[in-house]
Structure 1
Amino acid sequence: MKHLRFLNKYFYKYKWWIIPGIFFVVISNFFGVIPAQVIGHAFNLITENIQIYRLFNGFERATVIYDIFSYSLFYFGMLVLILYLLRGLFLFFMRQTIILMSRHIEFDMKNEIYAHYQKLSLGFYRRNNTGDLMNRATEDVNRVRMYVGPAIMYTINTAVLFILVIYAMFSVNVTLALWCLLPLPVLVLIIYFVNTLINQKSEQIQEQLSKLSSFVQERFSGIRVIKSYVREDYTKEIFAAESQGYKDNAMGLVKVQALFYPTMLLLVGLSTILTVYIGGIQVIDGAITPGNIAEFIVYVNQLTFPVTMLGWVTTLIQRASASQKRINEFLQLKPDITSKNTESARLKGNIKFEHVNFTYPDTGIQALRDVSFEIGQGQFIAIIGRTGSGKSTLANLIMRMYDIDSGNITVDGNPLKGLNLNNYRNQIGFVPQEVFLFSDTIKNNIAFGLDQVTDEEVSTAAKNAAVYHNIVDFEHKFETMLGERGITLSGGQKQRVSIARALIKEPALLVFDDCLSAVDTRTEEEILRNLSKIMKDKTSILIAHRISTIKNADKIIVLDQGKIIEQGNHEQLLQQNGAYAEMYQNQLLEEENQSL
């Protein structure tokens, strides 16, 4: 239960739901126990009146006795009916408080988990599968809700009913009560040993379900690759194997439960047999009446449902504990990137790297080694280098997606770590290398970075990104719905929509991480011309592979294996006749070959 202590704060928050709920549980069970006593009195009445009726059989008073007998039975029957109606009414109130409370807690938990996920750094998402994250925020939370709702409700209900029933039993006859309750310790021992098995099986089921969710999510995201390589049957076999693992674990849990429930029913049945046998002896001895046996049988039957539910509740608690353990694993993680500064300073765009070293924490790959350079306000800076040279890492460090290992990064003379992160990022237009578009309209994708935006601003951003004419050719224009990850659009169109999303913010700093790779040369030139107007007196950082894209930059930084090997403008780098000049000559040869 230690993992479920996390939920105590929610119980305190909704204490005015729990307290009335417990009150309704007590009252409903009170009206559930009284009918047993009424039935006992009615049974005694029946036996006594049958004897009296036989004595007066054939006399005139027999009719009067029969009428009294009928009226008494009707009275007791109506009383039992009214008591059970009252019990049903308070059971309804009980569910309306405790079950509704569980839905509120479920809502709060999902919001808390989602909010916490957003605080965690990129490294967290690199280490964990999306399917597993989704499963913890949905399936695991749902299992916890079954604990805070039905499990707690039935546990309280069972505890209160046991107390009332046992008290009623002992008040009638101690000997008979002890014999009736004799199987209960055996039941407690069975629950104790079975709990461990249920907990183990529950954890295995949740882990396998997460693997299954991750597999499905990944395969559906890469469905085009699967179809291109005709690997549908292969992935189907893997899915069947993963499903078999989940099935085996689930069947293991079902087998434990299948043995658990009949055992409990057997013990309850044994209590009934003991009640009749020992009760009969007590009646012969004159210690109790026959009505008391009927009363005890009702008590035992009243305990049957809670006892059988006890196994189900135990399963719910164990599965909730396993799920809460998985939820707590991530909720206890602290974000690597934190920002305590609340000042909202205006970003100018002066950026300085001083002897920066960085190694990715999840892979151990050193991406940057002793990197030092400076970007002045209003400069157009280009970064170029071979694949894996550290270009995207620089962009991520400027955005402070990661913190550096050593060295120093300053922005406008202030340490990057000391800035108000939300305010800083809000003034940056960032276009990542891996373009991501949401399953929403084109308009909403472009306007994603702003709370309020006009249609004119969206159109202007689309024109500056050279994607306006493509959009207006669609039937629904800017209201066109995009498929998952923008699958409706071509690669170049997705890149340009992503660029429009950055430009509509009118950022003080613009970072393009190789986002023009799928754009043709003419469109690229148009975008760059528009950028020169929009970003006048503002800082721009462009990461690219094509030298034609960056040759007009104020400064070009050439990276190789995480180090800066050259920097300067286009002409200066050509005169150095180094790596940049070699790349330039190679690209000229490629263009000549393509033209031939």
Structure 2
Amino acid sequence: MKLFNQLKWFFTREWKRYLGAILLLITIAILQLLPPKIVGILIDLIIKEKMHGIQILPWISIILLVAIIVYILRYLWRVLLFGASYQLATELRVKFYSYLSQQSEKFFLENRTGDLIARATNDVDRVVFAAGEGVLTLVDSLVMGCSVLIVMSTQISFLLTIISLIPMPIMAILIKKYGQELHDTFRHAQSAFAALNNHTQEILTSIRMIRAFGLEKNQSDKFDIIVNDTGKKNMEVAKIDARFDPVIYLSVAFSNLLAVIGGGWLVWNSEITIGQLTSFIMYLGLMIWPMLALAWMFNIVERGSAAWDRIYSIINKELYIKDGNKTLPSSSGILQININTFIYPKNNIPSLKNIEIILEPGKSLGICGPTGSGKSTLLKILQRQFNITKGNIIYHSLPLSELKIDNWRRRISVVNQTSFLFSESIANNIALGKPNALQQEIEEMAKLADIHKDIIDLPKGYETQVGERGVMLSGGQKQRIAIARALLLNTEILILDDALSAVDSQTENKILKNISKWQKNGHSLIITAHRLSALINTDEIIVIKNGLIIQRGTHPQLIQEENWYKSMYYYQKLEVELENK
């Protein structure tokens, strides 16, 4: 029942729908009390030979009319009740997605995709089911059960009612016990389902690599183990679930047995009539649903409660990146980076130390260094994916920590080394950040990214579907489409995180020249690269090693120094010359 308290904000807001549904359920319960009463009266009148033949038809007509009215009212309360629960599903999923969209990279390092999908789908379904069917069964069982009990005890026999309900306390104790077991077991089953989701998602994402390494059998065996574990946990849930119905049916059977024995004794002693006993047994039959509904309610509410715990454990987490309240001026500004120390969460070793950079509007900054030196880390901090441990980044004289995250991120566009494309047309992928872009704008940006010719050579040109994650395109084509997508946003700062690694030197040179022309409108460029030829024309180059800036200057300045940059530049130059021979 804890779940109903957790969802009281929704019940309070949608009180009109729920109140309407409850009133209809009460009306239905009252109407359902009429047929047994009419049947009991008819039996007594027939036994006393006071009614026969065609005289019975009006009474049967009343029973049929009651059935039709009940049918219509049941339709109406379903519309009210389940309409509200479906609204809850929409809101929970939107809220869950909204929360995920605000999360930093730290959150996604700690939570796996398959588990998050399971919470957004399966767990939400369980909560919604409890908010719909759970409320229905709770209200219906209480209203119907109480109504029948009142009629049986006041209109027929209080003693017989007490005798018939002797098995009920035992049933209630067992249902409560099984309900708690079900809550814990179902939570473990949902965790197993999330693990299965995770593994399935990883297999589908890396299917080409699995085939390339011939790991189909190995992955199949792992998948089989996870599936069996999930099946076992679900079987444990089913075993507990299976205990509910026998307890209910045995309780109902003993109730009927006691009613027949006790009722027969009362009829023998002329305390009730045969017609009243018949009505009593029919009323007892109406008690079967409330008892079944009560057990079912405990079942689905406990499942919903376990699911809500899993959802709430995510959406209740405090955001790692705090949103600011300040907005930036519309013009371009100076970017000042001053990072004294940055340490990744759950790590003790600094990844960046003493990083000081100033980037003016229209200027370009090149970043290079050995693998693992901290280049991508610096760009993640710029995007506000992580908080700086000590130091600050300032734009327009405002610290990034004080800015609204959306306001800052609209000023930057990022192209990563691994470019993600959606299962859409090429035109839609380029226009992702600007859905209302004209075809002419899309083509202009594609030309700047040197991908226009490749696109028009495709069967459907810009309307070509790229497939899941851009499977129809090469790595270089995907990178260039991602660059066109970033350029279309026309942001003040363009960040290329080794985004030219999959293109050849000639194409790289063309793209960088085009971006240089694009920069003349006041755009700034930050580019990281392993291939140093991409940094030659930048206004400043910094070399990072072990999280520290070990060199800085222009290309001509750096090749005069005996250090990492010079040796790596000439090594790469020699490598290219040997490849061209």
- Given candidates 82, 85, 90, the residue that maps to 2:73 is 90
1:323 partner letter: A
Equivalent position of 1:531 in the other structure: 515
Matches of 1:187 and 1:447, distance apart in 2:
62
Q: C-alpha distance in 1, partners of 2:151/2:55?
A: 24
Q: Which one is further off, 156-165 or 116-125?
A: 116-125
Query: Is this contact kept in 1: 2:328–2:396, CA < 8 A?
Result: no
Specify the code of the residue in structure 2 equivalent to 1:281: W
Q: What's the counterpart of residue 558 of structure 1?
A: 543
Q: Distance in 2 between matches of 1:362 and 1:459?
A: 45
- How far apart in 2 are the matches of 1:5 and 1:260? 24
Match of residue 24 from structure 1: 24
Deviations 1:372-431 (A, max 9, x none): 222222211100011110101111112222210001211132212122322221121211
C-alpha distance in structure 2 between counterparts of 1:183 and 1:2, whole Å? 26
Residue aligning to 1:334:
318
Q: 1:575 aligns with which of 560, 577, 581?
A: 560
Between 1:389-398 and 1:76-85, the stretch displaced more is: 76-85
How far did 1:175 drift? 0.6
CA distance in 1, matches of 2:442, 2:201: 32
Say which of 143, 148, 161 aligns to 2:131: 148
Q: Which residue of 2 aligns with 1:590?
A: 575
Letter of the 1:131 partner, please give it.
G
> What amino acid is aligned across from residue 5 of structure 1 in structure 2?
N
Q: Which shifted more, 211-220 or 571-580?
A: 571-580
Find the counterpart in structure 1 of residue 96 from structure 2. 113
Match of 1:186 among 170, 174, 179: 170
The Cα RMSD (Å) is 1.5
State the partner residue of 1:452: 436
Please show how residues 282-293 of structure 1 align to structure 2 within 5 Å: 282-293=266-277
Separation in structure 2 between the aligned mates of residue 140 and residue 347 of structure 1, nearest angstrom: 46
Partner of 1:70: 53
Partner Cα separation in structure 1 for residue 350 and residue 419 of structure 2: 25
Number of the residue aligned with 2:462 = 478
Q: Which moved more, 1:460-469 or 1:69-78?
A: 69-78
CA distance in 2, matches of 1:380, 1:96: 61
Is the CA contact (8 Å cut-off) linking 2:326 and 2:402 kept in structure 1?
A: no
Match of 1:415 among 387, 396, 399: 399
Question: Does residue 211 in structure 1 map to residue 195 in structure 2?
Answer: yes
Secondary structure, aligned partner of 1:218: helix
Displacement, 1:465? 0.2
TM-score by length of 1: 0.95
Give the letter aligned to residue 498 of structure 1.
A
- Do 2:339 and 2:388's aligned partners in 1 also have CA atoms closer than 8 Å? no
- Name the CA distance, whole Å, in 2 between partners of 1:233 and 1:35: 64
1:60 — aligned with what? none
**Helix, strand or coil at the partner of 1:512:** strand
CA distance in structure 2 between the partners assigned to 1:369 and 1:504 by the alignment: 34
| 1:12 matched residue in structure 2 | 12
Letter of the 1:489 counterpart: L
Equivalent residue number for residue 248 of structure 2: 264
1:56 equivalent in structure 2:
none
For residue 306 of structure 1, the aligned residue among 257, 271, 290 is 290
Structure 1 residue 362: Cα displacement:
4.9
Task: Give the superposition deviation at 1:363.
Answer: 5.2
CA shift at 1:342, angstroms?
A: 4.7
The equivalent residue for 2:492 is 508
The question of 1:466 aligning with 2:447 is answered no
Cα distance, 1:339 vs structure 2 = 2.5
Which of these residues, 232, 237, 254, is aligned with residue 221 of structure 2? Answer: 237
Contact 1:22-1:156 at 8 Å conserved across structures = yes
Instruction: Please say which of residues 152-161 and 361-370 is displaced more in the overlay.
Output: 361-370
- Work out which of the residue numbers 138, 151, 157 in structure 1 matches 2:140: 157
The separation in 2 between residues aligned to 1:511 and 1:529, in whole angstroms, is 16
Shift of 1:289: 0.8
Instruction: Check the 8 A contact 2:141/2:289 in 1, yes or no.
Output: no
Aligned partners of 2:115 and 2:194 also within 8 Å: yes
Of stretches 544-553 and 21-30 in structure 1, the one that deviates more from structure 2 is 544-553
When structure 1 is superposed on structure 2, of 457-466 and 280-289 the one drifting more is 280-289
Do 1:347 and 1:427's aligned partners in 2 also have CA atoms closer than 8 Å?
A: no
2:273 equivalent to 1:325: no
Residue identity in the other structure for 2:31? F
Write the deviation string for residues 320-362 of structure 1: whole angstroms up to 9, x where unpaired. 0000000001110122223332534125242222243111215
For residues 253-295 of structure 1, give each alpha carbon's deviation from its aligned partner in whole angstroms, at most 9, with x where no partner exists: 2122223212210110111111111011111212111111101
Question: Could you report, residue by residue, the CA deviation over 1:127-163 in whole angstroms, capped at 9, with x for unpaired residues?
Answer: 1111111111111111111101111111110000111
The one-letter amino acid paired with 1:137 is: A
Amino acid at match of 2:394: T
Structure showing greater radius of gyration is 1
Q: State the AA in 2 paired with 1:269.
A: A
Q: Deviation at 1:544? A: 0.5
- State the partner residue of 2:206: 222
Deviations 1:426-452 (A, max 9, x none): 121211232111111111111111142
Amino acid in the other structure paired with 1:570: H
Q: State the alpha-carbon separation in 2 of the partners of residues 365 and 502 from structure 1.
A: 33
- Matches of 2:377 and 2:475 in 1, distance apart? 23
1:528 is displaced (CA, Å) by 0.6
Using the size of structure 2 for normalisation, the TM-score is 0.97
Q: Which runs of 5+ in 2 are unaligned?
A: none
Q: Percent identity of the aligned residues? A: 31
Cα distance, 1:579 vs structure 2: 1.3
> Structure 1 residue 370 and structure 2 residue 363: aligned?
no
Assess, with a 3 A threshold, how the Cα gap between structure 1 residues 230 and 128 changes in structure 2: closer, same or farther.
Answer: same
Cα distance in 1 for partners of 2:340, 2:424 equals 39
**Does the 8 A contact of 2:495 with 2:526 survive in 1?**
yes
1:541 aligned to which of 526, 530, 536: 526
Which residue of 2 is the match for residue 54 of structure 1? none
Is contact 2:373-2:546 (8 Å) kept? yes
Residues in 2 aligned to 1:412 and 1:345: alpha-carbon distance in whole angstroms? 8
